[in-house]
């Protein structure tokens, strides 16, 4: 059975198989599903979710949580809109200020985690609550008007190959994150910290510095996601909260794809779009609006359970391989000159 699973790639590409099955099933169930419009909607709507998932992924590689990515995005998007609408800032200046705000939020998260020694889950949850209050303070409980400049609209609503340009932003950001995490010393440090924090420290990795940097990167990327979301759909007080759960579901489900047991960029994006296919298909069939949070919640629980199960299986297998040693290998070790002292 295991050999069949391995040959079919079910242990690494189950998300691809599931996506194909969803397309076939919903394609037969509702012809409206297999239209360019459906895939354009999924691509544009999930691109922002993918960006937020990447923001969450980077600190999670280093064993840190950032529960503030959603509210960070919400606040940053509203600030960029307010800077243009209320204070007359130019688009480039507002964009720079918005990204800087996201980076600042990430820096504050890092300070609380590294310097004040607060667990990242608690620290970023508290910061998220503060940012929610800050949204109301900054806007005075009034949603700022959408900027009317052509540049602001074309930031996300310009089409590229029939798709809105946000999908290109997602691909570029994913490539950069993939390069950072898989092909640079920084990425190796982050993976080492997430794998075994104490061992990484003993190996000379500056654990606190790189954990802080991961949270800063997370804050900056979340800020970018918030700006793009606001440009795409308009300012809102509540969109940030809707981005967090899908991001968590995608990151954990992505850790079971392509490189099982390892948080990775492409597995995360695969999970984002497979989940979106399921939600979109069910919504077309039923027409109800509560399917998205329900589906994402179930997916998050299932993904974490699957990731934990695989981790336990891998740990058990490793332990058994160490305890049970073939006789010929044991004999070779005892006969080895290095061990017996005989040259």
Residue-wise pLDDT tens digits, 37-48: 888 888 888 899
pLDDT at 50: 94
Q: What is the pLDDT of residue 218?
A: 97
pLDDT of 15: 83
237 versus 83: the higher-pLDDT residue is 83
Quote the pLDDT of residue 312. 63
- Determine the pLDDT at residue 260: 82
Residue 233 confidence (pLDDT) above 60 = yes
pLDDT at residue 331 in the model: 40
Please say whether the beta carbons of 226 and 77 come within 8 A. yes
CATH number, residue 195: 1.10.3470
Q: What is the pLDDT of residues 46-71, one digit of tens each?
A: 899 999 999 999 999 999 999 999 99
* Average pLDDT score over the chain: 84
Which position has the higher pLDDT, 201 or 138? 201
Share of the chain above pLDDT 90, in %: 47
pLDDT, position 32: 81
Domain that holds residue 331: 2-340
Q: Is the pLDDT of residue 150 over 70?
A: yes
Tally of domains in the chain = 1
Q: How confident is the model at residue 301 (pLDDT cuts 50, 70, 90)?
A: confident
How far is residue 231's CA from residue 150's CA, in Å, rounded to a whole number? 11
- pLDDT for position 54: 96
pLDDT at 234: 86
Above 90 in pLDDT, residue 14?
Answer: no
**Is pLDDT of 324 > 50?**
no
**8 A C-beta contact, residue 108 and residue 278:** no
Between 311 and 110, residue with greater pLDDT:
110
* pLDDT for position 334: 39
User: For the ranges 44-48, 119-123, 200-204, which has the lowest average pLDDT?
Assistant: 44-48
Q: Give the per-residue pLDDT at 9.
A: 63
pLDDT(102) > 80: yes
Per-residue pLDDT, averaged over 14-19, amounts to 84
Higher pLDDT: 302 or 171? It is 171
pLDDT exceeds 70 at position 126: yes
- What does the pLDDT read at residue 129? 94
- Report the range of poorest mean pLDDT among 20-29, 136-145, 210-219, 280-289: 280-289
On whether the CB atoms of residues 217 and 69 are closer than 8 A, the answer is: no
């Amino acid at each position: 059975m295991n050999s069949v699973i391995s040959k079919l790639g079910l242990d690494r590409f189950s998300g691809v198989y599931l996506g194909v099955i969803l397309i076939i099933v919903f394609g037969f169930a509702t012809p409206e599903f297999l239209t360019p419009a459906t895939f354009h909607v999924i691509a544009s709507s999930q691109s922002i979710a993918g960006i937020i998932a990447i923001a969450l992924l980077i600190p999670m590689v280093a064993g840190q949580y950032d529960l503030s990515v959603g509210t960070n995005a919400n606040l940053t998007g509203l600030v960029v809109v307010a800077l243009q609408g209320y204070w007359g800032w130019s688009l480039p200046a507002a964009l720079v200020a918005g990204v800087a705000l996201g980076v600042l939020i990430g820096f504050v998260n890092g300070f609380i985690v590294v310097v004040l020694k607060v667990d990242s889950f608690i620290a970023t949850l508290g910061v998220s609550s503060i940012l929610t209050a800050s949204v109301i303070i900054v806007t005075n409980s009034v949603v700022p008007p959408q900027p009317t400049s052509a540049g602001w609209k074309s930031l996300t609503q310009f089409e590229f190959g029939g798709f809105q340009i946000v999908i290109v932003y997602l691909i570029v950001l994913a490539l950069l994150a993939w390069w950072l995490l898989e092909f640079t010393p920084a990425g190796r440090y982050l993976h080492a910290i997430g794998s075994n924090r104490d061992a990484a420290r003993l190996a000379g990795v500056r654990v606190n510095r790189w954990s802080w940097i991961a949270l800063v990167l997370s804050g900056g990327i979340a800020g970018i996601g918030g700006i793009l979301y606001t440009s795409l759909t308009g300012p809102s007080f509540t969109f940030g909260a809707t981005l967090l759960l899908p991001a968590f579901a995608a990151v954990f489900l992505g850790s079971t794809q392509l490189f099982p047991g390892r948080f990775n960029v492409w597995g995360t994006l695969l999970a984002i779009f497979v989940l979106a296919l399921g939600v979109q298909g069910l919504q077309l069939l039923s027409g109800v609006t509560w399917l998205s949070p329900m589906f994402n919640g179930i997916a998050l629980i299932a993904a974490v359970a699957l990731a934990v199960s695989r981790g336990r299986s891998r740990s058990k297998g490793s332990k058994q391989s160490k305890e049970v040693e073939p006789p010929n290998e044991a004999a070779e070790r005892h006969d080895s000159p290095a061990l017996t002292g005989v040259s």
